[in-house]
Amino acid sequence: MKSILIFPAFFLALSASCFGVLAQEAPAPQDPFTTAVSGLTAQDPMVRRRSADELGRLGTPASIAPLTQALADENPFVRSAAVDALGILRAREAVSRIAELLAKDPAPQVRQQAAIALAYVGDPTTEDALIAALKDASDGVRFAATRTLGSLRSRKALEPLAAALKDPDAGMRRAAAAALGQIGAKESMAPLQEALDDQDLHVRREALRAVGAIADAGSAAVFEKALKDSDAVIRLQAASALGRLGDFSGEAAVAALLKDGEASIRMQAAGILGRIGGKDKALPALLAALSAEKDQGVKGLLDLAAAQIKARLGIKDEPAKKPEPGRAPKAAGKKAPAKKRAP
């Protein structure tokens, strides 16, 4: 009977001992920042890359110093992740190092990421490095530098960006037009107007959008010419820009696009007519299109545009005719019962 009692006591003591050891050996949870900083020195470059990403995600200023050191990492993917994280952190302390990477790093993806990071930081002292990057051998670097110069509103870059409107690459011409539109300088109007004759319709669209951002009342002739462009989107952009200048001469061109084969064009046309249309041309065209339209999404926008014109011009719908006193209204579509003949 004693041996039966001894074994349970023995196992209870052993279990308590094991749980005590496990409790002592359980590691304390590590701080994410400390773990990420430690990971920057790991042998595996993928670990170092993930650690740089994590430091950027944590968003603490204490990450700037270790990330700046990581810009010298031998692996280009680690350097790219580090410069991206510094951009996210808006690390002005690292601007000179990022600009140096933009100019000298051998890996194009690092140079491109450096140009993007400088847009996040927004330091105008980097203009010269970005302008120099417009001549980089990598298209990705040139595009990124162009966009960053636009976001910085760099007037110093007006001339090189205007020159980029004649670049052999249509993507670069389009990016240059967008950047000039962001900067919004009157000096850019002449080269942008020339770009309206570009063979690439996407360049023409971006150039017209940029002209619209800069335009004043004296720019109407530019938009009137664009109303004759072969591209429907450009004609819509031109009419909308004229409307912002108080010129509604593009109304007829937009009304004609209510019959376009693409639903997206008909939707845009309806939206523009709602803003610039009048009662004599736009309103009848919208109502006719509404009765013929099959697409429910387009019908909703046509109806809304017609309502906008009526509200803007104070046009009230005619009230429904009331039935004559003492006579009940006839049910639509039903004939009166035939009179019974006398036998």
pLDDT tens for residues 63-100? Answer: 999 999 999 999 999 999 999 999 999 999 999 999 99
> Which pLDDT score, from 0 to 100, does residue 182 have?
97
> Which pLDDT score, from 0 to 100, does residue 343 have?
47
> Which pLDDT score, from 0 to 100, does residue 328 have?
58
- Predicted TM-score (pTM) above 0.85: no
* Dihedral, CA of residue 325, residue 326, residue 332 and residue 333, to nearest 10: -140
Contact 117, 85 (CB under 8 A): no
3-state secondary structure of 135: coil
Q: What are the counts of helices (DSSP H) followed by strands (DSSP E) for the chain?
A: 19, 0
Report pLDDT digits (tens) over 208-239.
Answer: 999 999 988 888 999 999 999 999 999 999 99
| Contact residues for 309 (Cβ-Cβ < 8 A; gap 6+) | 273, 274, 277, 278, 279, 282, 283, 286, 315
Report pLDDT digits (tens) over 171-180.
Answer: 999 999 999 9
- In percent, the amount of the chain with pLDDT more than 70 equals 84
State which amino acid sits at residue 226: A
Other Cβ atoms less than 10 A from the Cβ of 77: the count is 16
Contact 123, 95 (CB under 8 A): yes
Contact 323, 329 (CB under 8 A): yes
Is residue 15 over pLDDT 60? no
| Contact residues for 109 (Cβ-Cβ < 8 A; gap 6+) | 76, 77, 80, 140
Q: Can you tell me the mean pLDDT for 269-290?
A: 94
> Which pLDDT score, from 0 to 100, does residue 219 have?
86
Q: Residue 302: which H helix or E strand, with range?
A: helix 296-313
> Which pLDDT score, from 0 to 100, does residue 322 have?
63
| Contact residues for 257 (Cβ-Cβ < 8 A; gap 6+) | 232, 235, 236, 265, 266, 268, 269
| Contact residues for 124 (Cβ-Cβ < 8 A; gap 6+) | 152, 154
Is residue 138 over pLDDT 60? yes
